[in-house]
A and B are shown apart, each in its own frame.
Chain A
Amino acid sequence: MTFSKTPLFSRSEIIGFAVLAVLIFLILPTFLGTFRLNLFGKYLTYAFVAVGLALCWGAGGILSLGQGVFFGLGGYCMAMFLKLEASTPENTSIQSTPGIPDFMDWNQLTELPAWWIPFHSLTFSLIAVVLVPVTFAFFIGVAMFRRRVGGVYFAIITQAFAAILTILIIGQQGYTGGVNGITDLRTLNGWNIRTGEAKEILYYVNGVLLFAVLFVAHFVRKSKLGRILIAMRDQEDRVRFSGYDVASFKIFIFCLGAAFAGIGGAMFTLQVGFMSPTLVGIVPSIEMVIFCAVGGRLSILGAVYGALLVNWAKTSFSESFPELWLFGLGGLFIAVVMLFPNGLAGIWTEQIMPRLSKLWTARARRAPQTHNASTEKRGAV
């Protein structure tokens, strides 16, 4: 992979990352109590998905309405490990078959299904968190992109996958916990994840992982691969005629998005302490798209802000005005699409940044932003 001559981080990008780091690691923990911080930890897990979507949709032009599937697969892989750890024979001695998860006992299963057994191992589970969603995404990607299915059709088919997985999980409740999901998770390798202190540590783990994901995403965006993606989004045929294998790039970026979503799902399970089909289906999958759209589909940092803001608004609105929340969310969808197609990041780069840089040039005769603003604009066409 060759790099463009511009440095990996421009000055404004360093500032952007630094501001986000200050927000996540200093401001939020200082001003929020344990309960609120735990909520923001949950929002951060959605941000993983939003960053993945910013790559797939914003850069690659692939709108997936099934990110909830990957979020759920990652989350379930984690939850299965935690559930097995919580279901020791001592803890479950009142069951008719001790040593298996409680919901299996309720559904008259007498032994652990074979595909649950590997999840006794933490290493296997951690690998599965990434590998299962990626494998799944790979198969969908190969089947769809090799046949040049894209755009609207891809969106509808991924949405169908979200529906299929939800029905499957709810229908097979003996194996999956059904509509309640996998609940009552206690420890991670002996470490109690239900205490306030653990939630706080998990919040920081989330933050660090999110930054790792952001750096990967940034690297992809800046590399030649990122440019091909944007070229593909704007003029797919020309890229194909230039000799690039368009499908492979799409498959790669789709798998990367799925990996991010899987990590997010696993962190969600740890942070919130359960996993259920309500986080897999059509509705959450589309909500994840709106996080990305509000933040700005072209910007990975914007996606993080979008996830934090929309969820924060959701929580505070549904606490005080439960009636109004759906109006608000629906209105937000329409407003973002019609008025600000590039979301918050678009408002920033198109409205605020030029004014700031004008002020800046007036003082220092040097606009630090011009390069970045022009690439973003070119991307937006």
Chain B
Amino acid sequence: MFSDYSMSELGAIFAMQGFAGLILFSVFVLMALGLAIIFGQMGVINMAHGEFMILGAYVTYFVSQFFSAYMPALFGSYFFVAMILAFFASGALGLLVEWSIIRHLYKRPLDTLLATWGLSLILQQTYRSVFGAREVGVTIPSWMMGSMPVTDLIEIPVNGIFVMVLAVGISMAVYIMMFRSNWGKQVRAINQNRVMAGAVGINTEWTDRLTFGIGCGVAGVAGSAFTMIGSTGPTSGQLYIVDTFLVVVFGGAGSILGTIASAFSISQAQSIMEFFLSGSMAKVLTLLIVVGILMIRPQGLFSLKLRK
């Protein structure tokens, strides 16, 4: 299959494929970070994670509509406003959900799974009733359109680069929050020993709520970033949920670094195999390999030693 191509063409194909893999990597990282906080640190299985992302995407869509109607001069920068709004919208919904549902179910993780699945159905139908069943796409600001030529054969789409930059930025933000802030210290303390953390004066209840809210907020930002590379529909969130969970579990729950590493390996494996096989077979093979590795090493790539 390679004989038809010259060496430089082959190099270009691999570079482009590798770059497609990097975009997929950014998407996975964005999706998985919020879940890594919620599932990894709190052990809560949030099946409605995709719907929190979609909320962020819808917020972005409406902000873009608003800007193009009232402030066309500032249209180029609407995205940054949208991202912040998406964080707070999804985060606020997250706080509400934690308060009304999740906090009653901390001792029953499998039941959280079912309850949040119910929540995801309700959210999907809400989106469908409020925003319509059709997929919506935002107008990308002009500076994000087009592509950057690297060599004669390799071109890199600007929105892809933007999503990558965003993924790096958000990962750093999450990292700083987890390992440098007071909140992060409290979250990790609770993760290690809940009772003891409470005994030394950490308000575990409030920290849990905030953690869930921040995790959902990060999901909202991820959703917001997705509008740059695809359209949004009421059920788009469901497409991501299995991938997202596998990324987090494969990386080792509780480890942010592991999540990023697993997102990288899964996305690269998938995009490289996509070149050799059909898209669906590449996906099947990737998932099978991930599941296979998880069967051999259930704790994931990076595991924290915790006293449960």
Residues of A within 8 A of B (CB): 63, 65, 143-144, 147-149, 151-153, 155-157, 159-161, 163-164, 167-168, 170-172, 282-283, 286, 289-290, 293, 323, 326-327, 329-334, 336-338, 341
Residues of B within 8 A of A171 (CB): 278-281, 283-284
User: Do the beta carbons of B283 and A167 come within 8 Å of each other?
Assistant: yes
Interface residues as binary, B202-238 with A (CB distance below 8 Å gives 1, 0 otherwise): 0000000000000000000000000000000000001
**3 tightest A-B contacts by CB?**
A333-B118, A171-B280, A330-B121
User: Do the beta carbons of B288 and A164 come within 8 Å of each other?
Assistant: yes
Chain A proximity of B117: nearest CB distance (Å): 6
User: Do the beta carbons of B122 and A170 come within 8 Å of each other?
Assistant: no
Taking the complex as formed, is B134 at the interface, i.e. its CB lies under 8 A from any CB of chain A? no
User: Do the beta carbons of A157 and B121 come within 8 Å of each other?
Assistant: no
Residues of B within 8 A of A (CB): 43, 45, 101, 104-105, 108-111, 113-115, 117-122, 124-125, 128-129, 238, 241-242, 245-246, 249, 278-281, 283-284, 287-288, 290-291, 294-296, 298
User: Do the beta carbons of B281 and A326 come within 8 Å of each other?
Assistant: no
Complex CA gap A265/B201 in Å reads 54
Complex CA gap A243/B105 in Å reads 32
Residues of A within 8 A of B101 (CB): 334, 338
Chain B proximity of A170: nearest CB distance (Å): 7
Chain B proximity of A306: nearest CB distance (Å): 13
Residues of B within 8 A of A163 (CB): 242, 287
User: Do the beta carbons of B298 and A149 come within 8 Å of each other?
Assistant: yes
User: Do the beta carbons of A164 and B287 come within 8 Å of each other?
Assistant: yes
Given contacts A160-B246, A163-B242, A337-B105, A168 and B122 within 8 Å (CB-CB): no
Complex CA gap A363/B287 in Å reads 62
In the complex, the chain B residue whose C-beta lies closest to that of A149 is B298
Chain A proximity of B82: nearest CB distance (Å): 27
User: Do the beta carbons of A329 and B118 come within 8 Å of each other?
Assistant: yes
Complex CA gap A100/B14 in Å reads 40
Residues of B within 8 A of A144 (CB): 295, 298
Chain A proximity of B31: nearest CB distance (Å): 15
Residues of B within 8 A of A155 (CB): 45, 110, 113
User: Do the beta carbons of A333 and B249 come within 8 Å of each other?
Assistant: no
Complex CA gap A331/B125 in Å reads 12
User: Do the beta carbons of A326 and B242 come within 8 Å of each other?
Assistant: no
Residues of A within 8 A of B108 (CB): 337, 341
User: Do the beta carbons of A152 and B45 come within 8 Å of each other?
Assistant: yes
In the complex, the chain A residue whose C-beta lies closest to that of B44 is A152
Residues of A within 8 A of B246 (CB): 156, 160
User: Do the beta carbons of B115 and A282 come within 8 Å of each other?
Assistant: no
